[in-house]
Amino acid sequence: MEGGAEFSQAAAVYYASYDAYLAERQRDTGELIHNATYSEAWFNAYLGPSTSPTWAPWETYPQWRIYDVGFLVSEIFAAIKGPDVIMQMYKDVAGGKNFETVFAETFGMSWADAVPILSRALAKEVA
């Protein structure tokens, strides 16, 4: 759920101007855009390895990917369920549910089933 704060900040600060929001989005996610490294397969591997409570599955990736990929995933979540979905998911996880349960309850599908869909969308977005 990393990256949600970056997305929420951009949406809150630049709510009055879509162009200003897009400029901030570019600053936050620009390293992903038009970079052939970030393919559907890359996103699938990045999003799918584990929902481990530790950082171990992501130690081989550049640190910032947690935030910029998370920004874009949070943007997708908000587009599907509205802007309050991110805070509700944080609340539910903080209340003791694991991410997989919260995701399934929120979106009506498992995280494992969602990863390929998200990966395809992300790859098209950054192409």
pLDDT digits (tens, 9 = 90+) for 6-53: 999 999 999 999 999 999 999 999 999 989 899 999 999 999 866 667
Comparison of pLDDT for 5 and 54, the residue scoring more: 5
Band of residue 56 on the pLDDT scale cut at 50, 70, 90: confident
Supply the pLDDT for residue 62. 82
Burial class (CB in 10 A: 0-12, 13-18, 19+), 6: buried
The backbone torsions φ and ψ at residue 94, rounded to the nearest 5 degrees and listed phi first, read: -65, -25
pLDDT tens figures, 72-126: 999 999 999 998 999 999 999 999 999 999 999 999 999 999 999 999 999 999 9
- Whole-model pTM: value is 0.89
Supply the pLDDT for residue 32. 94
pLDDT tens figures, 65-81: 989 999 999 999 999 99
Burial class (CB in 10 A: 0-12, 13-18, 19+), 34: exposed
Q: Which domain holds residue 92?
A: 4-126
The number of domains in the chain is 1
Supply the pLDDT for residue 51. 62
